[in-house]
Structure 1
Amino acid sequence: MDAEELKTRTKQFAIDVGRLSELLPETHVNIAYKRQIIRSSSSTCANYRASRRAKSDADHLNKLKIVEEELDESLFFLELLTAFNPVFKERIDVFIKRERFYSGSL
């Protein structure tokens, strides 16, 4: 996968997470976790874009590590949302599989 495709996919991940969050019920737990996952998924995309403008190889690698951390955080909140919304398990599992794919592509 080339850099442009990964840029597109990380952006789509953030968009898809936002759309998923709109479908989940407005419970206290969901509200808190949805805020977190929206931040981490959009941060994944923003930091990947920043990595492409890195000033050195070391800077690029450091920025990619941040992307990896944000993806892992997104995975964590997807798992929590699944625990509190088992009815959405199949839909959320699609995101979990996709997130693992992205992290393996960095």
Structure 2
Amino acid sequence: MDSAELKRRAQKFAAEIIKFTETLPSGRALNVLCTQLIRCSTSVGANYRSACKGKSTADFINKIVICEEEADESIYWLDLMEESGLVKPELLIKYKQEAKELTAIFTAIGKTTKQNQKDKK
């Protein structure tokens, strides 16, 4: 997967999360969970775009780690929606799967970049 495709995928994930949260009922707790989920899911793509413009390898790695953390945080909020019983598990499956895949992708990118940097020294 090239960087343009990953940018599109991360943006699509954020857009789908935004649309999904708009379909959910309003309530104090669910509103908070949705806000947190929107923040971290949109941060994945924003930080990846920033990483691609990184000023150095260290800057790139830093931002990739943030992408990984934000994708993983998305899983947390989705899990909490399920565990709290506020959202039916079957509605969350595809979003959890995509968040897990994005987490794995950014983890792999970070590890590879760190190893490549180490090998150059």
Give the 5 Å matches for 1:8-23. Answer: 8-23=8-23
Return the TM-score normalized by structure 1: 0.93
Please give the residue correspondences for 1:22-33 in structure 2 after superposition, counting only pairs within 5 Å: 22-33=22-33
Supply the distance in 1 between the matched residues of 2:10 and 2:87 (Cα, whole angstroms): 25
Instruction: State the superposition RMSD in angstroms.
Output: 1.0
Q: CA deviation at 1:86?
A: 4.3
Letter in 2 for 1:6: L
Please identify runs of 4+ aligned residues in structure 1 that moved more than 6 A.
none
Output the amino acid matched with 1:19. K
- 1:70 matched residue in structure 2: 70
State whether residues 7 and 48 of structure 2, in contact with CA within 8 Å, keep that contact through their aligned partners in structure 1.
yes
* Bigger RCO (CA 8 Å, 6+ sep): 1
Displacement of 1:19 after TM fit? 0.8
The answer for the alignment partner of 1:99 in structure 2 is 99
**1:5-43 CA deviation, whole Å, 9 max, x = no partner?**
110000000000001101111111100000000011111
Deviation at 1:85, TM superposition (A): 2.7
Counterpart Cα distance in 1 of 2:24 and 2:100: 22
- 1:93 deviates by 1.2
| Largest Rg, 1 or 2 | 2
Aligned-partner SS, 2:55: coil
Q: Percent identity?
A: 34
- Report the CA distance between 1:2 and its aligned residue: 1.1
Structure 2-normalised TM-score?
0.82
Query: Structure 1 residue 54 and structure 2 residue 33: aligned?
Result: no
Post-superposition shift, 1:91? 2.1
> How many residues end up aligned between the 2 structures?
105
Letter in 1 for 2:50: A
5+ unaligned residues in a row in structure 1: which ranges? none
